[in-house]
Amino acid sequence: MTPLTTTAAVAAFCEQIQGQPFVAVDTEFMRETTYWPKLCLIQAATPSAEAVIDPLAPDIDLSPFLELMADPSIEKVFHAARQDVEIFSNLGAIPTPLFDTQIAGMAAGFGEQIAYDALVRQMLKIDLDKSSRFTDWARRPLSDAQLMYAAADVTHLARLYPMLRGRLEDTGRLAWVTEEMRAMTDPALYDVEPENAWKRLRPRRHTAKYLSVFRAVAAWRERTAQARDQPRGRILKDEAIDELATQTPLDAESLDRLRSVPKGFSGSRFGPELLEAIREAVKNADTYAPTVTRNSAPASPSAGAVVELLKVLLKARAEDADVASKLIATVSDLEKIANDDNADTPALQGWRREAFGEDALRLKHGELALVLDGTRVRVVEVRRTPKPA
């Protein structure tokens, strides 16, 4: 297989597949030592055409393919799309509409976060050759075996997608996946604005001073990681952000006393910059601190026990529906429901409320019970004995 290495070849391929209802897409990239993922290959296939594009080719312009990614008339099919979508978002084109076969597999009864090769094996009865899985995709030239390996991912994906979509349509669950895809294509999910970096973390306190420093340190780390093209963790670990916000060191000596900050950090080129960011945050705490929504309802003393019951109910309802439990609700969702009947959580909205949320509230209020029937848990109505007149 010969990869596409010119802008003209990419444009010709994109023109060839115009009018197709969908295109299966995959990427190969490297990011172990960088902040920004280095895109090394793009694979694309429809039922009638396929190609491998080399983004590292000299002077190549990916604009024709990015326009294809943004074309609303063609569905883009990925497996485990999160990192692929992030790459295209960085290039200015979030793939829409989107269909993720891993999420679809969870809705179709193939288990939690099913791997691509397992899905191909179960649906197409094909065992994939994974011998090139750990290829250095940035090295050139790539061998025919490497290119065939890369192309196979989308070749099989293009065959698998109509079958999986049809299965979801037959069971009335296509809308479930469509709802998930709206969240996956939300630009906020791929926001790399440094001032918003704190949102990916979990502040442990809610004072203005703490939150202001927390935001400032997270923003400083993000800017530094982006400028140096290094992973965030190589600049500063997540746990250090909480400790810095808690202790608010204002000088080199205080900074060096912190356990989560690397030894000698104050003497590095980073130290003065970080201390200046902290000082500014402390000075402007009231105006710079972000607003963090707190749960207004007090924690229930019995919430822990309720969460454990809800876990059992979730497993039972997921088995009844033959759907991955993780797609319905997370432990965080269960904790919110245990503490608040009106919690702002996906598990109490849309199809999830119908599949699980209503029963979760009924179990919480004693209207349902869990009964062990052999090795299976059944959910039964609680018959209340009327009080005597």
pLDDT digits (tens, 9 = 90+) for 120-141: 999 999 998 877 777 899 999 9
Burial class (CB in 10 A: 0-12, 13-18, 19+), 321: middle
**Token reading at 13:** 């391929």
Q: How high is the pLDDT of residue 375?
A: 83
Instruction: State residue 363's pLDDT score.
Output: 96
252 in helix, strand or coil? helix
Domain boundaries 7-190, corresponding CATH code:
3.30.420.10
DSSP annotation string for 137-195:
TTSSSPPHHHHHHHHHHHHHHHHHHHHHHHHHHHTT-HHHHHHHHHHHT-GGGG---GG
196 within 8 A of 218, measured Cβ to Cβ = no
State which amino acid sits at residue 106.
M
43 has which bridge partners? 26, 52
Give the sign of the dihedral formed by CA 259, CA 264, CA 266, CA 269: negative
For 303-381, CATH number out of 1.10.150, 1.10.3470, 3.30.70, 1.10.1060 equals 1.10.150
Alpha helices in the chain (DSSP H): 7-16, 63-69, 82-90, 101-107, 116-124, 144-170, 174-184, 208-228, 232-235, 238-247, 252-256, 270-283, 285-288, 303-321, 325-328, 331-339, 350-352, 358-364
Which residues lie closer than 8 Å to 181 by C-beta, 6 or more apart?
97, 98, 99, 100, 103
Q: In what order do the strands lie in the sheet with 50-53?
A: 50-53, 38-45, 22-30, 75-78, 98-100
CATH topology of domain 194-288: DNA polymerase; domain 1 (1.10.150)
> Within 10 A of 40 (CB to CB), how many other CB atoms are there?
20
Parallel, antiparallel, or unpaired: how do β-strands 22-30 and 75-78 relate?
A: parallel
Measure the CA–CA gap between 274 and 265, rounded to whole angstroms.
Answer: 10
Which part of the chain has CATH 1.10.150.80?
194-288
Give the pLDDT score at 224.
97
Token reading at 288: 């710079």
Q: Work out the average pLDDT over 150-154.
A: 94
pLDDT tens, position by position, 19-40 = 999 999 999 999 999 999 999 9
CATH 3.30.420.10 intervals, the chain? 7-190
CA angle in degrees (0–180, nearest 5) for 53-56-59:
95
Kindly indicate the confidence band of residue 388, based on its pLDDT and cuts at 50, 70 and 90.
low
Give the residue-averaged pLDDT of 89-115: 95
> Which residue, chain included where needed, has tokens 């895109």?
39
Q: What pLDDT is attached to residue 298?
A: 56
What does the pLDDT average to over 143-157? 94
CA torsion, ordered 230, 236, 238, 239, to nearest 10 deg: 160
DSSP β-bridge partners for residue 30: 38
Q: Which of 243-247, 349-353, 384-388 has the lowest mean pLDDT?
A: 384-388
Per-residue model confidence (pLDDT) at position 297: 54
Q: What dihedral do alpha carbons 81, 128, 134, 63 form, nearest 10°?
A: -40
How many Cα atoms are found within 13 Å in the side-chain-facing hemisphere of 42? Answer: 28
283: confidence class by pLDDT, cuts 50, 70, 90? very high
